[in-house]
Amino acid sequence: MNPFILALQARNLTVEIHRHSAYQIVISNDTPFNSTIDGTLFEDIHGFLIKPHISHFCVAENGTLNILNIEPYSNIGLELASRFKENEEYIVFDQPSETSKFFKTPKDSVDINVLIDGLVSDLPPTNYDERVTKIVEYIADNYFKSDITPKTFEDIVFLSPSRLASLFKKQTGSSLSKYLLWTRMRKAIYIALSEKERSLTDIAYDTGFYDLPQWNKYMYEMFGMPPKALKFNSDLIKVF
C-alpha cells in the first residue's frame, strides 16, 4: 500500500462540513449517496474526487463508502492533480462506469486495492536510493519515538539534513517530515478504529505524537476532523 494513502471503508457515514489538506476520493460501495461540495448539492452520486481545502460533507446513511485520503505533494498526489482541468476543484462520478473509466479499473469495480493499483500504475517507475530505503525502514520500525529529528536520519545514512531532504523529495515527491507524519497518522488511526477500548491520549503517545492536542491538530489539518469524530461518528468496517 502506498505510504501516502490512508484508505478506509465505512457504513452509515454522516460527516459535517469540513475541509482538509489531503486529496480525497470517496466511492460508494453499494447505494448512491448525497454530498455538498463547495456549496453545491449533488444527489444520488456514486463518488467524487476533491482537491485539498475545498469544503464538503457527505450523507451516506444507508450504504458503504470507500474513502481514500492522499498527500497532495506525494508522487501519487501530483499525478492526481494532473487529471484536473484548469480551474476544476472537484470531479463528481454519477455512475459506477464513470469511476471505472476515470481510475482505469475493471468495469464498475469498487475494490479499493484495485483502484489504488490503477492510480499507482500511472506513476513512473522509481529505483529508490538505498539511503531512502534505509530511512523508510527506520521509520517503519521506530515511528513511535517522539524524539526523531533530522539529526537522527543524518546519523543513519551519513548525509546532511539538507541533502537527504532533497533526495527524499526527489524520489517520493514529498518531504521526509510528511512521510513520518503520515506513517504516525496511519498507525494512530488504525489503532483507534481497531482497538476501541484504547484511549485516544494513550494512542497519541504510543504513535509518536507529543500529546492528544498535537494529534488533534494534524487530524484537522489533514483530514478535516478530530480523532474522536472518526472513532465514534461512523461504523468503520476496514482500515486498509
CA distance 133 to 168: 10
Using DSSP's 3-state secondary structure scheme, residue 172 falls into helix
Provide the angle, in degrees to the nearest 10, between the axes of the packed helices 176-194 and 161-172. 70
Q: Pairing relation of β-strands 47-50 and 33-37?
A: unpaired
CA dist list (Å): 130 to 54, 127, 168, 170, 202 = 38, 9, 11, 14, 34
CA distance 45 to 35: 8
Q: Pairing relation of β-strands 56-70 and 47-50?
A: unpaired
Using DSSP's 3-state secondary structure scheme, residue 16 falls into strand
Domain positions in the chain are 5-120, 130-225
CATH class, domain 5-120, is mainly beta
Nearest partner of 82 among 3, 2, 162, 23, judged by Cα? 23
> 24: which residues sit within 8 A by CB, 6+ positions away?
49, 50, 67, 68, 69, 70
Per-residue pLDDT of the chain (240 residues; tens, 9 = 90+): 467 888 888 776 666 788 899 999 999 878 888 899 999 999 999 999 999 999 998 877 777 888 899 999 888 898 899 999 999 999 999 998 898 888 888 776 677 788 888 788 777 777 889 999 999 999 999 999 999 988 899 899 999 888 999 999 988 888 999 999 999 998 998 888 888 889 999 999 999 999 999 999 999 888 888 888 777 655 665 665
CATH number assigned to the domain covering 130-225: 1.10.10.60
Length of the chain counted residue by residue? 240
In the numeric block, the cell 484548469 is attached to: 86
